[in-house]
């Protein structure tokens, strides 16, 4: 933690308050400091670099282009790349252990598996080297008084409560944001929290005896089973972090698996190839929490020049498109560009930020829910995989006119709402095209080529 604060030059540089020192809060603090401001960051948890505690939310993250750009903007992408594992493809495991691969993009494109805790530690280390930022841990936000611009902070170790005022408050305190909680009590605040009927549970595929990966390392593994699925992302130590996405209730659900024997029998039946790699399955299944899957939407995101929400605090989404962190990081990129455009006219910056960003995070929330169905069900369908191959061929033939939706979201910086609209138009074209196509080779048949050319001409 830095105690030496660079004195601010009176006119431009201001003292800013960031509530929440998670991924988005840490990155935001770096951006704000680079604009010359002094930043105080308050984080509820203890310093996770000192605690050695396992993160409650250990789900692995998939960094993609939007996230990388945001990290590059403060010059820390290289440091993060050291602890990231590229995944070039999805590998689907069917019930008999047969594998099918689907590349995520072009040859050199990948999403990157990183550990949430590891990435957060890296960011905190970088923040600490920034003299304009002060980190305060163990600070639980008990109350935000928007009228008097006052925070009530409880130190969770000493039990001491302090009251602090703020000029400009950035709420990066996550899906259950205390800052948003205060805004929810103001007039005409739109808000929704929607839960899926599914929960998730973290499990582990262990490393081999020599620390080797026992599944293909450079892939995101999926066991799609229609109404549920398991996925696995590689860790640096040779293990895979697995997540079971599973209904809370029903014939195959968390409530139907009550004993270690039932869990083992169920995995033997539906995840047979993974089971031998999961020696601690039963213990983990009953010791690890079952976590819920929520989508949060709200509006407005800001109050005058006083408060703004970023990341999960304003737009928490379900994890199925791997865009939650990337969207939060992109918030930082966009806020940065608005600071360049407007300078420290915070009222203008916050207003533009919410107006430009809200339609895009709404679109991303819809895409994320949609992708759950794709991952747990459609990726097991040969016709779906054929369609993806055909789309890839169209994209190669008409690179200026066609980018698959997944690539627009993951490997481009196109606003999410545009990507969604564009993806829907492309899907309609595929619905007209696919009845003509039975195999990959059919793509080269003259009548198919003719139809594709006609569709491209009318776009």
Query: Locate tokens 């994209």: which residue?
Result: 395
**Window 245 to 304, contacts with a second copy (CB under 8 A):** 248, 292, 297
Q: Is 355 among the residues that bind a second copy (CB under 8 A)?
A: no
User: Which among 145-153, 182-190, 323-331, 426-434 is the span making contact with a second copy, rule CB under 8 A?
Assistant: 182-190
User: Which among 73-81, 122-130, 188-196, 367-375 is the span making contact with a second copy, rule CB under 8 A?
Assistant: 188-196
- The single residue among 54, 56, 163, 191 that binds a second copy, judged by CB under 8 A, is 191
Closest to a second copy by CB, 158 vs 190, is: 190
Phi, psi (rounded to 5 degrees) for 123: -65, -40
| Residue 298 C-beta: closest distance to a second copy, Å | 10
Closest to a second copy by CB, 78 vs 187, is: 187
Closest to a second copy by CB, 239 vs 295, is: 295
- The single residue among 192, 259, 340, 450 that binds a second copy, judged by CB under 8 A, is 192
Closest to a second copy by CB, 192 vs 428, is: 192
| Residue 248 C-beta: closest distance to a second copy, Å | 8
| Residue 199 C-beta: closest distance to a second copy, Å | 9
| Residue 347 C-beta: closest distance to a second copy, Å | 16
Instruction: Build a one-symbol-per-residue string for 204-243: x at contacts with a second copy by CB under 8 A, - elsewhere.
Output: ----------------------------------------
| Residue 187 C-beta: closest distance to a second copy, Å | 7
DSSP string, 346-410: HHHHHHHHHHHHHHHHHHHHHHHHHHHHHHHTGGG-HHHHHHHHHHHHHHHHSTTT---HHHHHH
* Beta strand 150-155 pairing with 161-165: antiparallel
Strand runs labelled E in 94-189: 99-103, 111-114, 133-136, 139-145, 150-155, 161-165, 169-171
Site size toward a second copy, by CB under 8 A:
12
Q: In what order do the strands lie in the sheet with 302-303?
A: 133-136, 38-42, 15-19, 169-171, 307-309, 302-303
Rounded Cα gap, residues 19 and 301, in angstroms = 15
| Tokens of residue 193, six digits | 């929290």
Cβ pair 430, 390 in contact under 8 A: yes
User: Which among 189-197, 232-240, 394-402, 414-422 is the span making contact with a second copy, rule CB under 8 A?
Assistant: 189-197
| Tokens of residue 309, six digits | 């929400």
Closest to a second copy by CB, 36 vs 181, is: 181
Closest to a second copy by CB, 140 vs 292, is: 292
- The single residue among 4, 82, 98, 190 that binds a second copy, judged by CB under 8 A, is 190
- The single residue among 3, 187, 287, 400 that binds a second copy, judged by CB under 8 A, is 187
| Residue 168 Cα distances to 15, 43, 171, 350, angstroms | 8, 17, 10, 10
| Residue 163 Cα distances to 16, 143, 144, 155, 207, angstroms | 16, 9, 10, 11, 48
Closest to a second copy by CB, 143 vs 297, is: 297
452: Cβ contacts below 8 Å, ≥ 6 apart: 394, 397, 398, 433
Q: Is 194 among the residues that bind a second copy (CB under 8 A)?
A: yes
Q: Is 193 among the residues that bind a second copy (CB under 8 A)?
A: yes
26: Cβ contacts below 8 Å, ≥ 6 apart: 41, 120, 123, 124, 126, 127
User: Which among 159-167, 184-192, 215-223, 357-365 is the span making contact with a second copy, rule CB under 8 A?
Assistant: 184-192
Judge if the upstream peptide bond of residue 300 is cis by omega within 30 degrees of 0: yes
CA 77, 132, 125, 43 dihedral sign is negative
| Residue 254 C-beta: closest distance to a second copy, Å | 12
| Residue 334 C-beta: closest distance to a second copy, Å | 24
User: Which among 18-26, 90-98, 185-193, 257-265 is the span making contact with a second copy, rule CB under 8 A?
Assistant: 185-193
DSSP string, 272-325: TTTGGG-TTHHHHHHHSPPEEEEEEEEE--EETTTEEE-THHHH---GGGS-HH
Closest to a second copy by CB, 191 vs 286, is: 191
- The single residue among 72, 94, 195, 259 that binds a second copy, judged by CB under 8 A, is 195
| Residue 258 C-beta: closest distance to a second copy, Å | 19
Q: Classify 85 as helix, strand or coil.
A: strand
User: Using CB under 8 A as the criterion, which residues of the chain lie in contact with a second copy when the complex forms?
Assistant: 187-195, 248, 292, 297
């Amino acid at each position: 933690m830095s105690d030496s604060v660079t004195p601010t030059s009176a006119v431009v540089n201001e003292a800013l308050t960031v509530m929440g020192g998670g991924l988005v809060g840490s990155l935001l603090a770096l951006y704000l400091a680079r604009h010359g401001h002094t930043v105080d960051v308050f984080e509820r948890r203890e310093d996770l670099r000192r605690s050695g505690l396992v993160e409650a939310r250990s789900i692995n993250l998939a960094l993609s282009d939007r996230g990388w750009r945001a990290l590059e903007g403060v010059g820390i992408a290289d440091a993060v790349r050291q602890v990231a594992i590229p995944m070039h493809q999805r590998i689907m495991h069917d019930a008999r252990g047969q594998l099918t691969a689907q590349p995520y993009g072009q040859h050199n494109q990948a999403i990157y598996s990183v550990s949430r805790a590891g990435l957060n530690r890296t960011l905190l280390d970088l923040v600490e080297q920034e003299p304009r930022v002060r980190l305060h841990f163990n600070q639980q936000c008990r109350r935000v008084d928007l009228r008097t611009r006052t925070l009530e902070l409880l130190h969770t170790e000493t039990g001491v409560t302090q009251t602090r005022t703020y000029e400009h408050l950035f709420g990066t305190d996550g899906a259950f944001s205390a800052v948003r909680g205060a805004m929810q009590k103001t007039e005409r605040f739109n808000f929704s929290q929607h839960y899926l009927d599914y929960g998730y549970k973290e499990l582990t595929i262990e490393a081999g005896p020599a620390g080797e990966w026992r599944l293909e390392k450079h892939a995101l593994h999926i066991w799609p089973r229609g109404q549920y699925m398991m996925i696995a992302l590689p860790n640096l130590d040779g293990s895979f972090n697995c997540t079971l996405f599973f209904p809370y209730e029903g014939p195959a659900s968390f409530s139907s698996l009550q004993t270690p024997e039932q869990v083992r029998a169920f995995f033997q039946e539906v995840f047979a190839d993974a089971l031998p790699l999961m020696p601690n399955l039963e213990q983990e299944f009953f010791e690890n929490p079952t976590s819920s899957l929520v989508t949060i939407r709200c509006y407005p995101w800001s109050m005058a020049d006083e408060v703004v929400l970023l990341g999960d605090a304003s737009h928490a989404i379900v994890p199925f498109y791997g865009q939650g962190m990337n969207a939060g990081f992109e918030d930082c990129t966009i806020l940065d560009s608005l600071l360049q455009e407007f300078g420290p006219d915070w009222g203008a910056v916050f207003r533009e930020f919410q107006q430009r960003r809200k339609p895009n995070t709404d679109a991303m929330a819809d895409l994320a829910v949609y992708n759950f169905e794709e991952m747990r069900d459609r990726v097991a369908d040969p016709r779906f995989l054929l369609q993806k191959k055909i789309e890839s061929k169209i994209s190669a033939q008409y690179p200026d006119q066609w980018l698959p939706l997944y690539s627009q979201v993951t490997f481009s910086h196109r606003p999410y709402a545009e990507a969604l609209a564009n993806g829907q138009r492309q899907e309609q074209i595929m619905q007209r095209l696919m009845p003509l196509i039975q195999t990959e080779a059919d793509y080269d048949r003259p009548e198919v080529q003719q139809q594709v050319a006609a569709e491209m001409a009318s776009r």
